[in-house]
């Protein structure tokens, strides 16, 4: 099976490495606009060949769009236009509503499966990819009913090979949830990094004094601006609403602290502790 991966970064690369590690009979045709990433992907055995996008699509049984979501938005209808009959197209974008809308009336819509693998790290590029990234993780499929059963079956089979669990939901619901459980986390981390960098001019101080708590909260501030900028733009309304809610919670904390109202801060923290039930 020829799988053409457009964008040989963390997710695209890990998808390829994961399938190969499981012994799946796949040939990976890689496409990347960055020549350095293309050769790293060859060297790292992510891609078996590097091709141009039209060549890779023409030869594909499955095409994966694993580029930033603004690029996916542009590539999705173009790739669908040139997709061979019987091939399946999927994408790894963290937003789903605008992407699905862009091909809603495309004559080949059925060959597209809108997917979002819930996995990642704060690193990017082919050198960040590793075989077990997707293993055991959740794959969300949106607008399942708009995909042809054959295309859906191919995608589900590949996910099954990686021991991924499938979840199905409408694209709008996906984008709303992910504004809260993913996109907001990233902004909270970026803003925390900026606040601390702004205040602490002496890096040795941050380094020596930051405990594991700070590292864990600020970890996502290392994430790629090229990847996250377009996500926030495409999911603008939900992210803005989530941010407004977050800012309101922080302001309530600040007011309670300013007022020395320790009962109030304790009450808020006790309520936040309920996250234990979810995180385990």
> Which residues within the stretch 139-168 sit at the binding site for a copy of itself (CB under 8 A)?
140, 165, 167
For a copy of itself, the closer of residues 12 and 230 by Cβ is: 230
Query: Interaction with a copy of itself in 97-136: which residues (CB under 8 A)?
Result: 118-122
For a copy of itself, the closer of residues 62 and 228 by Cβ is: 228
What's the DSSP call for residue 132?
T
For a copy of itself, the closer of residues 157 and 216 by Cβ is: 216
Q: Helix (H, G, I), strand (E, B), or coil: what is residue 50?
A: strand
Q: How far is the CB of 97 from a copy of itself (least distance, A)?
A: 15
Contact 119, 137 (CB under 8 A): yes
Number of residues that bind a copy of itself (CB under 8 A): 93
For a copy of itself, the closer of residues 88 and 164 by Cβ is: 164
Query: Minimal CA–CA distance to 44: which of 17, 7, 19?
Result: 17
| Contact flag: residue 74 with a copy of itself (CB under 8 A) | no
| Contact flag: residue 262 with a copy of itself (CB under 8 A) | yes
* Count of C-beta atoms within a 10 Å radius of residue 265: 17
Q: How far is the CB of 179 from a copy of itself (least distance, A)?
A: 9
Which residues, other chains included, contact 85 with Cβ-Cβ below 8 Å and sequence gap of 6+? none
Q: How far is the CB of 153 from a copy of itself (least distance, A)?
A: 22
For a copy of itself, the closer of residues 39 and 138 by Cβ is: 138
Beta strand spans in 205-251 (E): none
Count of alpha carbons within 13 angstroms of residue 177, beta-carbon side? 13
Q: How far is the CB of 234 from a copy of itself (least distance, A)?
A: 10
Query: Interaction with a copy of itself in 182-241: which residues (CB under 8 A)?
Result: 182, 184-200, 203, 205-226, 228-230, 232-233, 236, 239-240
Query: Minimal CA–CA distance to 2: which of 80, 119, 84, 76?
Result: 84
Residue 88: strand pairing partners: 62
For a copy of itself, the closer of residues 149 and 203 by Cβ is: 203
Which residues, other chains included, contact 223 with Cβ-Cβ below 8 Å and sequence gap of 6+? 122, 124, 186, 189, 190
């Amino acid at each position: 099976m020829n799988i053409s991966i457009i964008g040989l970064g963390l997710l695209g690369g890990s998808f390829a490495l994961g399938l190969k590690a499981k012994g799946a009979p796949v040939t990976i045709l890689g496409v990347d606009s960055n020549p350095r990433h293309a050769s790293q992907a060859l060297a790292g055995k992510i891609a078996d060949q590097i091709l141009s996008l039209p060549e890779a699509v023409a030869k594909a049984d499955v095409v994966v769009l694993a580029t930033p979501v603004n690029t996916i938005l542009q590539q999705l209808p173009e790739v669908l236009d040139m997709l061979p009959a019987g091939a399946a197209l999927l994408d790894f974008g963290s937003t789903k509503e605008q992407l699905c809308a862009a091909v809603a009336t495309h004559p080949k819509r059925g060959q597209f499966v809108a997917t979002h693998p819930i996995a990642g790290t704060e690193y990017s590029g082919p050198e960040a990819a590793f075989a077990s990234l997707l293993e055991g993780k959740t794959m969300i499929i949106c607008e399942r009913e708009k995909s042809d059963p054959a295309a859906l079956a191919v995608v589900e089979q590949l996910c099954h090979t990686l021991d991924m669990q499938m979840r199905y939901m409408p694209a709008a619901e996906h984008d709303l949830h992910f504004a809260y459980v993913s996109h907001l986390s990233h902004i909270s981390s970026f803003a925390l990094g900026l606040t601390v960098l702004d205040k602490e001019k002496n890096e040795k101080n941050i380094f020596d004094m930051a405990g594991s708590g700070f590292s864990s909260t600020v970890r996502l501030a290392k994430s790629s601006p090229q990847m996250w900028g377009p996500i926030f733009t495409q999911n603008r309304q939900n992210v803005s609403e989530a941010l407004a809610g977050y800012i309101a919670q922080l302001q309530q904390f600040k007011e309670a602290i300013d007022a020395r109202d320790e009962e109030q801060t304790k009450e808020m923290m006790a309520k936040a502790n309920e996250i234990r039930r979810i995180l385990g």
